[in-house]
Every structure is written in structure tokens, then in C-alpha cells.
Amino acid sequence: MPKVALVTGGSSGIGLATVRRLAADGMEIVIADVNEKGHNLVEQLHKDGIKASFQHCDVSVEEAVKQTVEEVKKQYGQLHVLINNAGVGNREIKLTDLPVLEWQKVIDINLTGVFLGMKYAIPLIEESGGGAIVNVSSLLGFKGKKLMSAYNASKAGVITLTKNAALEYGKHNIRVNAVAPGVIDTPIVDGWKEQEQKWEVLSRANALRRVGTPTEVANAIRFLVSEEASYITGTTLMVDGGGLTY
Ligand SMILES: NC(=O)c1ccc[n+]([C@@H]2O[C@H](COP(=O)([O-])OP(=O)(O)OC[C@H]3O[C@@H](n4cnc5c(N)ncnc54)[C@H](O)[C@@H]3O)[C@@H](O)[C@H]2O)c1
């Protein structure tokens, strides 16, 4: 029986690259995303020989996440892999000017979304005999960046939440890790790309002096869910071209 993987935010960028990478390993994929593009995407993936389905799901809404996992159980009967990847950036704004609603939205999607994904998927992964979870944090979960307080805080929270889950579910044969991408060329950084000078500086602020690709992050995620990482849990793998070292 093929393994089943649930990928949040799988309609675009790092999530989509991860869908393709995990499918290449023979997994059946459920994409959970607010982006309705996911429906057409699934048709395209089918043409490429990838077994995937789409669930409309806002990861910040408890009922939606619960229903998505229930649907996975109904359609596939099992779940082995969860990739909590859905996320949003924040408008660049000083902490004292940041409206509480904007703060809340970023925390709800980037941090509570990861909590909800694990809260509802872990029992099904356990029922399926165990598996692996990867949460997508960020280089900005490790270091501060001016005007990005909500994003910084949300991604730092993901790193510690990953450790909690690893500790609590290791004995149930569930490994929980995170990845921390640096600047990766996806639509989330389009705003930075439009500012030519800023993009030049940001994209070179790492040891490799370039931005990363979604596939480079997907490869790290694929490693963490694979048997090759069987003794790795509770850790966060930097996929930042040396951005933290810089
Ligand atoms: N691109 C980067 O430079 C970078 C760096 C570090 C971390 N990340 C993280 O990687 C993850 C993926 O981002 P990406 O770069 O591929 O960007 P992206 O914008 O291409 O993809 C994000 C996906 O998440 C989905 N999404 C947003 N809000 C959602 C919600 N409430 N419920 C369900 N789905 C939702 C979007 O529709 C989209 O498909 C995010 O968590 C992001 O914070 C990205």
C-alpha cells in the first residue's frame, strides 16, 4: 500500500515542489490549501502520473483542519506523512504600528495552523502505525528582521512546537522535524523581488550568494520524512544556503 501524505499549502512554491518530490517516492498526496488553483493543479498532476487530491482548507480554522483530516481518513483510511507548510508573510511594519488583527492573522496561519495540523493528524498517523511530520519554519525563526515581528515570532514558535510534538509522540513512532528555509524563490517573496536593490542584497545574504529553489527545500523535507532520517526527530534543518552563518 502506498503511503499517504497531507501537504498544507501544497498549491504553490515549496509545498508544490514537496508534493512532486514525495509523489516521486510513490506517495499518494492530499493537498490542503485555500488556493482554489489546487483543483486544476490536481488535474495537471494526474496527467504527470501523480496521485493527488485537493481539499479546500484554511489551516487557521479548527473545523476546516478537523474536516480535512476526517476526509483523508474517509478517502484513504490512513495517513503517514504530514507537511505543515502553509504560511503567509507579513506586511513590513514597525511593531508599534502593527494592528493586532494583522499580528493575529499571521500567528493564526503560521503557528496555530501548524498546531491544528498536528492536533488532528497525529491520531490518524498513530492509527496508521506511525510516520513523520515536517513543519516549515524559517531562517527568520532563528534571527530577527526589522518590520517582520509577527512573522519572526510565528516561525520561532514553530521550532519549539516541533520539539514538543517530537517529545510527546516519539514513543508512538512519529518523528517530528522542521525545516528553516532562507530566501527561496516563490510567490511569497514577490514583494521583495519588486524592489530591485533590496532583492539583490537579500538574495546574496548567505554563504552561497544566491536564493534557493523550492525543490531544494522539498529535497530536505523528503529526506526528513524518509527512512534515511529514522533517528532524527525534534530538530530543525536549515535550508538557507548558509544564511544563518552569514
Ligand atoms: N519563500 C521563502 O523565502 C520562504 C522562506 C522561509 C520560509 N518559508 C515558508 O515556506 C512556506 C511555503 O511558502 P512558499 O514560499 O512556498 O510561498 P507560497 O506563497 O508560494 O505558498 C504558500 C501556500 O500556502 C497557502 N496558504 C496561505 N494561507 C493559507 C491558509 N490559511 N490555509 C491553507 N493554505 C494557505 C497559499 O495559498 C500557498 O499555496 C511558508 O510557511 C513560508 O513561510 C518561505
- Is the shortest distance between the CB of 12 and ligand 1 below 6 Å? yes
- Is the shortest distance between the CB of 165 and ligand 1 below 6 Å? no
pLDDT in tens, 45-102: 999 999 999 999 999 999 999 999 999 999 999 999 999 999 999 999 999 999 999 9
Residue 1, pLDDT > 90, answer no
Cα–Cα distance, 1 to 27 (Å, whole number): 9
The CA-based diameter of the chain, rounded to the nearest angstrom, is 53
Residue 27, pLDDT > 90, answer yes
Per-residue pLDDT, averaged over 182-209, amounts to 95
Give the start-end residues of each E strand in the chain.
Answer: 4-8, 28-33, 52-56, 81-84, 131-136, 174-181, 236-239
162 CB burial (10 A radius; 0-12, 13-18, 19+): buried
CB distance 179 to 206 below 8 Å? no
- Is the shortest distance between the CB of 135 and ligand 1 below 6 Å? no
Task: Report the chain's terminal Cα–Cα distance, integer Å.
Answer: 44
State which ligand 1 atom lies nearest to the alpha carbon of 140.
Answer: 6
CB distance 11 to 35 below 8 Å? yes
- Is the shortest distance between the CB of 141 and ligand 1 below 6 Å? no
Q: Phi and psi of 196, rounded to 5°?
A: -55, -50
Residue 38, pLDDT > 90, answer no
CB distance 179 to 222 below 8 Å? no
Residue pointed to by grid coordinates 479548527 = 62
- Is the shortest distance between the CB of 211 and ligand 1 below 6 Å? no
pLDDT in tens, 126-164: 999 999 999 999 999 999 999 999 999 999 999 999 999
Task: Look at ligand 1, atom 42, and give the residue with the nearest C-alpha.
Answer: 87
Residue 209, pLDDT > 90, answer yes
**Confidence category of residue 37, pLDDT binned at 50, 70, 90:** confident
Q: How many CB atoms lie within 10 A of CB 20?
A: 18
Per-residue pLDDT, averaged over 13-38, amounts to 96
Architecture of domain 4-187+214-238: 3-Layer(aba) Sandwich (3.40)
SS3 of the chain: helix, strand, coil, percent, to 5: 50, 15, 35
State which ligand 1 atom lies nearest to the alpha carbon of 14.
Answer: 16
Per-residue pLDDT, averaged over 208-223, amounts to 98
Q: Phi and psi of 45, rounded to 5°?
A: -60, -40
Ligand 1 center from residue 171 Cα (angstroms) = 30
Q: What is the mean pLDDT of the chain?
A: 97
Task: Look at ligand 1, atom 19, and give the residue with the nearest C-alpha.
Answer: 188
- Is the shortest distance between the CB of 149 and ligand 1 below 6 Å? no
State which ligand 1 atom lies nearest to the alpha carbon of 17.
Answer: 16
Per-residue pLDDT, averaged over 15-35, amounts to 98
What letter would DSSP give residue 77? S
- Which of 79-88, 120-129, 176-185, 193-202 has the weakest average pLDDT? 193-202
Q: Calculate what percentage of the chain has a pLDDT beyond 70.
A: 100
The secondary element (H helix, E strand) that includes residue 142 is none
Taking alpha carbons only, the member of 128, 114, 87 closest to residue 5 is 128
Ligand 1 center from residue 86 Cα (angstroms) = 5
Ligand 1 center from residue 136 Cα (angstroms) = 9
- Is the shortest distance between the CB of 33 and ligand 1 below 6 Å? yes
Catalytic residue annotation:
151
